[in-house]
Amino acid sequence: MHQQHALLRQSFGRNFQWGVAISAGQNEGAWNVDGRGPSIWDQFARKQGKIKGSAKPYHSCDFYYRYKDDLMLVKAMGFTSFRFSISWSRILPEGTGRINKEGIAFYNRVIDECLQLGLTPFVTLYHWDLPLALHKEGGWTSHQMLKWFSRFVNVCTESFGDRVKNWIVLNEPMGFTSLGYMIGKHAPGKTGLSNFLPAVHNAVLCQAEGGRLIRAAVPRANIGTSFSCSEVHPFTQREEDIKAARRADILLNRLFIEPLLGRGYPQEPGFTLLDKLHLHNKAWKYTDRMQFNFDFIGVQNYFSTTVKYNPLIPYIQASEVKAATRKVPHTDMGWEVNADSFYRMIKRFWLYGGVKEIMVTESGAFYKDQLVNGIINDTKRIAYFEQYLSALLRAKKEGVNVGGYFAWTLTDNFEWAEGYHARFGLVHVDFNTQLRTIKQSGYWFRDFLHDKI
């Protein structure tokens, strides 16, 4: 076993970045202290029935106060990079205008602590926690988003750019635009194409503009942005299922990266959602600004998916056939475990051409952990990491320039609409006492990363 690990680890090479990722809205807590303004998630959590167990993100796992201990854990597990996001409303409580110095000071403390411990900070600018004040002005659906976002980026680069060189502009734009502006399962709970399409376009503009602004402000910056992705399979080989899978594939895998690479939005005959997007696009401003030459693309893959034709679902006319129904391996989130599909998605992003480097900026799994005599023996999570890392190595060996892997996530945290029951951490958190317990998967990484190469 040990030898196998050493070999796996060695094969990734010395310069490979090993990291762990968190996000502000899921980890920090301290929602109303030191001048932080409210975010869309603070408000969304107050609405009945939106979040499992009526959970609130207000305290979460208290990273705001416990960052030193948590960074020690990152270090102890052997990681060398740490990805975290900036809470926009902590540094600009109204989203724009006045800067909150205490917010800036907090991130300075986190960054300095990382550097002192020898951890390379990777900063995500936007990981889904929009200031509520901006939402009241239309948020991601507003044309003003580009202006607001630019100011936020500039404040971040001016404040942290002397020490932070690695930047991720957006976290999974498909995630927050679809869940937050089409389906309404996530904050701010908006639905329908009239919200979704402008949100998509503004996110596409902001991701490229964010890259440009960082390039202009930060010398020697390494700039990326992250995408969710999911290999899509038709349920049967019937033509209607195959077409449904194509539509889902466009939304899940192509909508955000193709305009970035200069290909414009995808086209598909008969897919009216895209027709509308193209129609709007003509009227929208700045479409020439959708492109940017990123240093790396962040890939995040949690599941592959199988869909069938379903005329009842507006526009996409497809619905998912769940992994449990198909009796294939899945996590306790119900997400299909399929490391081969992860390998294929990595290759697919690479084969676009124009992608210089791929970083896996999140990868992980929720399994129901059992704390027995102070030990969490999360063997399924360990098996998950083993399979996914082997698949990644396969892609790397076949010539994909993969530069790093970030496990999701450090500690159990606020898992958005799932509240606190869905635990993805390498470290277990007792949310009553804030006691941390390293899971066996955390020790697995420690052994894996401490092997000398």
Residue given tokens 């995808």 in the structure block: 266
Q: Which of 175, 259, 425, 442 binds ligand BGC (CB under 6 A)?
A: 175
| Residue 94: active-site member | no
Report residue 316 as tokens.
């996409």
CB 99 within 8 A of CB 33: no
| Residue 357: active-site member | no
CA-based nearest residue to 23, from 298, 401, 339: 298
Residue 332 or 447 with smaller CB distance to ligand BGC: 332
Among 28, 113, 172, 258, the active-site one is: 172
b (16+ CB within 10 A) / e for 52-64: eeebbbeebbbbb
* φ, ψ (nearest 5 deg) of residue 417: -65, -15
For the bound state, the minimum distance from the C-beta of residue 216 to ligand BGC, rounded and expressed in Å, comes to: 27
CA 420 to chain centre: 18
Alpha helices (H) along 234-338: 239-249, 257-260, 272-283, 323-326
Say whether residue 202 binds ligand BGC (CB under 6 A): no
Q: Give all strands (DSSP E) within 185-317, no chain letters.
A: 222-229, 232-234, 296-301, 305-309
CB 257 within 8 A of CB 299: no
- Is 26 known as a binding-site position? yes
- Is 195 known as a binding-site position? no
For the bound state, the minimum distance from the C-beta of residue 425 to ligand BGC, rounded and expressed in Å, comes to: 10
For the bound state, the minimum distance from the C-beta of residue 157 to ligand BGC, rounded and expressed in Å, comes to: 22
- Is 302 known as a binding-site position? yes
For the bound state, the minimum distance from the C-beta of residue 415 to ligand BGC, rounded and expressed in Å, comes to: 5
Q: Which stretch binds ligand BGC (CB under 6 A): 115-123, 138-146, 169-177, 436-444?
A: 169-177
Question: How many chain residues bind ligand BGC (CB under 6 A)?
Answer: 12
Q: Give all strands (DSSP E) within 310-397, no chain letters.
A: 318-320, 358-362, 371-372, 375-376
Looking at residues 214 to 233 of the shown chain, list those that interact with ligand BGC (rule: CB under 6 A).
228
- Is 343 known as a binding-site position? no
Say whether residue 129 binds ligand BGC (CB under 6 A): no
For the bound state, the minimum distance from the C-beta of residue 168 to ligand BGC, rounded and expressed in Å, comes to: 11
Say whether residue 171 binds ligand BGC (CB under 6 A): yes
CA-based nearest residue to 258, from 302, 295, 297, 216: 297
Say whether residue 412 binds ligand BGC (CB under 6 A): no
b (16+ CB within 10 A) / e for 355-367: bebbbbbbbbbbb
Report residue 64 as tokens.
């705001």
Q: What track of x and - describes contact with ligand BGC for positions 302 through 341 (by CB under 6 A)? A: x---------------------------------------
Q: What track of x and - describes contact with ligand BGC for positions 79 through 118 (by CB under 6 A)? A: ----------------------------------------
List, by residue number, the catalytic residues.
172, 362
Would you tell me which residues interact with ligand BGC (CB under 6 A)? 23, 26, 171-172, 175, 228, 300, 302, 362, 408, 415, 424
Could you list the residues known to form a binding site for substrate, using ranges. 26, 127, 171, 302, 408, 415-416
